Amino acid sequence: MQKKLYDLNKKLTGDLKAHDPSLIKENDKWWLFHTGRGVGVKSSNDGLNWKNEDSILDNSLDWWSKYVNNFDKDNDVWAPDLEFFNDKWWLYYSVSEFGTNNSLIGLLSADNIESNNWQDEGLVITSTEGQEYNTIDPNLFIDPDGNPWLVFGSWFDGIKLTKIDPKNMKTTGEIYSLARRQIGKRPAGVEAPTLTYRSGYYYLFISIDHCCRGSRSDYKIAFGRSDKITGPYRDRNGINLLEKGGDVLAAADEKYIGYGGQDIFNNQLLVHHAYNKKNGEYRFFIKQLEWDNGWPKIKNYNKKLNSFCKLINIDANKSAAVKDSKTEARTKIVCQEDNNSESQEWLIYPIENGFYRIQNKHSLLYLEAENAEKTNGAKLQQWSNSRNFCQEWEIINIEADIYKIINRNSDKAITRSDNNFLIQNDFENLDSQKWKLVY
């Protein structure tokens, strides 16, 4: 059955609308829990055809408002996660006031999923304005020795980990920091943590950047690993996830963008949501997860260029960088001597048949032609995600490891000007228009 699911995951049918999906199997039946009023639930007998089930809770629980006053009662439960432990199913969920860390993580339990006889186990942990962390997006993880842990967090001070007392399944002891993203002192997008263990390593999967913006969503699934559950978690290049490290597993494909809200099933399946890039509608996907020399990848996913690199101009042997390492929108892009700064590093990832987005690691903003200009000489700058074609690029190999980079909106090439600003011009096969991608 699993082979059938792996081979045919592109043919999932039925009710596929879900944010923050969590995949589980009980006996021969598949279940998917997701964000929604009273906890969204779907089921499938074959893992392919999915139907909607009744929500777990008929109404918001009275005690939630003691900790979170202004949660959305039409979409009250976020990012549920469940595991079977000590002969029971334990379902952790979050309730939050959007955009703040006025949040809580609560707990439900049941002897089996099919009966839908869930019991309220009350509060697990809460956060309020002024605290460093945000108590949403819980993930229950059972380590190889059978000890339960809870990983959680969103934006603010990032991803946290703490032990769970197996007697009451509530948090206990120290809270550890696992991942964080910041622009200067401002928090940036990191959330939806998922922990798994394989062959001596703990793997932390996270969603980075922005969810829930329809066709403007730029969520991405990233990961790191550690030989200790408490970290440090590092990517392939050894960069700590507390320092904006993280390998990108997937960001987008030809039709869907904003991969995120992920869950890992049995180290074999990845479930996540994404958005149709044309109409902004969202749905969940189930894909086969493979492992290559101790690192995860998605089967048949085109990951070409999907990692951080430097853009080196052939003519000047200088790196494309944000001027003065600024993090503000509209800051111009220049060529400068390599100084190993994050402002010289760019995440290039595919979004549609031959086109890519280019995101600066330091500012987390996107490379574009200013004001969506189509004229020769227009300067390049950084800007927040606009989904305009001026932020999309065709990267074309012209010789050996040399590329030209063409703006989708203007059909003009990135060019180093005489004063080292990057501009767009008609491609004339000049060295100032040729680039090496150094990973």
Active site residues: 20, 191
Q: Distance between CA 15 and CA 94 in Å, rounded?
A: 23
Strand bridging mode 190-198 / 40-44: unpaired
> Assign residue 360 a region: left if phi > 0, alpha if psi is -120 to 50, beta otherwise?
beta
How many degrees, rounded to 5, is the angle at CA 283 between CA 281 and CA 284? 160
DSSP conformational letter for 368: E
Question: At 215, phi and psi to the nearest 5?
Answer: -70, -5
Query: Is 256:276 a contact under the CB 8 Å cutoff?
Result: yes
Q: Distance between CA 229 and CA 237 in Å, rounded?
A: 19
**Residue 148, preceding peptide bond in cis (omega within 30° of 0):** no
Centre a 10 Å sphere on the Cβ of residue 7 and count the other Cβ atoms it contains.
11
| 25: nearest Cα among 121, 94, 112 | 112
Tell me the three state secondary structure of residue 416: strand
Q: Distance between CA 263 and CA 194 in Å, rounded?
A: 6
Q: Distance between CA 112 and CA 119 in Å, rounded?
A: 11
Centre a 10 Å sphere on the Cβ of residue 399 and count the other Cβ atoms it contains.
9
How many degrees, rounded to 5, is the angle at CA 188 between CA 185 and CA 192? 140
Strands of the sheet with 78-85, listed across from one edge? 78-85, 88-96, 103-110, 119-127
Q: Distance between CA 111 and CA 88 in Å, rounded?
A: 5
What are the DSSP E strand ranges found in 328-421? 333-336, 346-352, 355-360, 366-369, 380-383, 393-399, 402-407, 413-416
Q: Which residues have CB under 8 Å from 245's CB, separation 6+?
A: 224, 233, 234, 235, 237, 238, 239
Q: Distance between CA 223 and CA 248 in Å, rounded?
A: 7
